[in-house]
């Protein structure tokens, strides 16, 4: 692969809550040859105004890319973008590096890798954690799987988006690591929401409570970033409830394949299904507090 320069042809597919900010960081870093595609063109308006080239299909993006990033919604979206009509593998060229940053099935990451190798190309699975805040400030944690040489090659671009970039192993390893991340978050979210509910019911000032517990053994990203939003009744998405439910279902499917039981994950998954049933699927994950408040008659 050629050395990455500011004129390297970069493709980007998916400009949602996180993808738009991540791509914007690439453009703002001075990369001048960026082609983009997203299902809803209006979501890419700001990037087009910054000079990104709009493409009408994933295949067209691929034809104009040496390195192609994807971050879309669901595994079926990944399947369509890569393997569907006018998809990435219809336009791929020799030595293109594909980097899927969607959280998806580890088996799908392996399928993409194998298909890329057959096309004399390569792929990395590189799901991220850090939400909208991390996407905007370049502070994402990026979990990578594939060939280590490919990750080293892509590091100039990955480091624009993330501060913690760790190689986990063969194709699919990044996705397995993201499942570990989501399992930990699931348990943390219910703890934070229950803590704030307890604080409210006991007559405490929740903001003052955070000043104490946020600096002790309970300190965590969720307390720092999402607990204040819950207190302010701000349920705007940094990461959609419906996407978190999707991630937990991927993890639970993998648990069944590995014959392991994670009852905490199963419980939080059911609570988030209740959040969706209440019509909050497009709110942020902190909306779990709404379901717990409802159970407590608030």
Cα–Cα distance between 122 and 213 in angstroms, integer?
46
**Same domain? 202 vs 279:** yes
**Same domain? 222 vs 129:** no
Domain boundary among 144, 171, 198: 171
Marked catalytic residue, from 110, 111, 178, 283: 178
What average pLDDT does range 185-204 have in this prediction? 96
**Same domain? 160 vs 208:** no
- Evaluate whether residue 4 is within a structural domain: no
Domain boundary among 134, 156, 171: 171
Q: How many domains does the chain have?
A: 2
**Same domain? 220 vs 122:** no
**Same domain? 153 vs 247:** no
**Same domain? 54 vs 130:** yes
pLDDT at residue 17 tops 90: no
Share of the chain above pLDDT 70, in %: 100
Provide φ and ψ at 146, rounded to 5°. 130, -150
* Structure confidence at residue 28 (pLDDT): 97
- Evaluate whether residue 84 is within a structural domain: yes
**Same domain? 149 vs 208:** no
pLDDT at residue 169 tops 70: yes
What are 231-251's pLDDT values in tens digits?
999 999 989 999 999 999 999
What are 73-132's pLDDT values in tens digits?
999 999 999 999 999 999 999 999 999 999 999 999 999 999 999 999 999 999 999 988
Phi-psi region of 279 (alpha: psi -120 to 50; beta: other; left: phi over 0): left
Q: Between 2 and 256, where is the model more confident?
A: 256
- Evaluate whether residue 2 is within a structural domain: no
* Structure confidence at residue 1 (pLDDT): 67
What average pLDDT does range 189-200 have in this prediction? 97
- Evaluate whether residue 215 is within a structural domain: yes
What average pLDDT does range 194-205 have in this prediction? 97
What mean pLDDT is reported for the chain?
96
What are 136-163's pLDDT values in tens digits?
999 999 999 999 999 999 999 999 999 9
Domain coverage including residue 215: 176-295
CATH number at residue 241: 1.10.1040.10
**Same domain? 188 vs 159:** no
- Evaluate whether residue 3 is within a structural domain: no
Provide φ and ψ at 218, rounded to 5°. -85, -5
**CA of residue 260 relative to chain centroid, distance:** 25
**Same domain? 152 vs 187:** no
Cα–Cα distance between 166 and 117 in angstroms, integer?
23
Inter-CA distances, 160 with 32, 36, 122, Å: 15, 18, 21
106-118 and 173-201 helices cross at what angle (nearest 10)?
150
**Same domain? 129 vs 39:** yes
**Same domain? 42 vs 146:** yes
- Evaluate whether residue 288 is within a structural domain: yes
**Same domain? 155 vs 182:** no
Q: Is 111 a catalytic residue?
A: no
- Evaluate whether residue 189 is within a structural domain: yes
- Evaluate whether residue 5 is within a structural domain: no
Q: Which of the 8 DSSP states describes residue 285?
A: G
| Closest C-alpha among 200, 190, 254, 255 to residue 231 | 200
CATH number at residue 97: 3.40.50.720
- Coil/strand/helix, residue 142: strand
Domain boundary among 135, 153, 171: 171
**CA of residue 266 relative to chain centroid, distance:** 21
């Amino acid at each position: 692969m050629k050395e990455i320069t500011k004129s390297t042809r970069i493709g980007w597919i998916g400009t949602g809550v996180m993808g738009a900010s991540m791509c914007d960081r690439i453009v703002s870093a001075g990369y001048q040859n960026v082609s983009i595609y997203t299902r809803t063109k209006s979501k890419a308006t700001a990037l087009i105004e910054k000079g990104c080239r709009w493409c009408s299909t994933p295949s067209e993006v691929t034809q104009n890319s040496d390195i192609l990033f994807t971050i879309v919604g669901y595994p079926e979206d990944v399947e369509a973008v890569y393997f569907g009509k006018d998809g990435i593998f219809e336009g791929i060229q020799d030595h293109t590096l594909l980097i899927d940053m969607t959280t998806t099935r580890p088996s799908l990451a392996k399928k993409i890798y194998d298909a890329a190798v057959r096309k004399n190309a390569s792929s990395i699975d590189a799901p991220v954690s850090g939400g909208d805040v991390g996407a905007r400030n370049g502070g994402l944690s990026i979990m990578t799987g594939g060939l280590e040489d490919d990750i080293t090659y892509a590091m100039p671009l990955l480091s624009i988006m993330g501060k913690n970039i760790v190689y986990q192993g063969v194709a699919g390893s990044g996705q397995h690591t993201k499942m570990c991340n989501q399992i930990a978050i699931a348990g943390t979210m219910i703890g934070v929401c229950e803590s704030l509910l307890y604080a409210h019911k006991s007559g405490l000032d929740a903001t003052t409570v955070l000043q104490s517990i946020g600096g002790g053994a309970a300190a965590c990203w969720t307390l720092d970033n999402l607990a204040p939003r819950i207190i302010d009744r701000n349920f705007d998405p940094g990461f959609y409830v419906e996407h978190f439910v999707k991630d937990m279902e991927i993890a639970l499917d993998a648990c069944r394949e590995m014959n392991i039981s994670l009852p905490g994950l199963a419980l939080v998954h059911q609570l988030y299904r209740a959040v969706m049933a209440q019509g909050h699927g497009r709110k942020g994950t902190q909306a779990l507090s709404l379901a717990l408040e409802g159970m407590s008659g608030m």
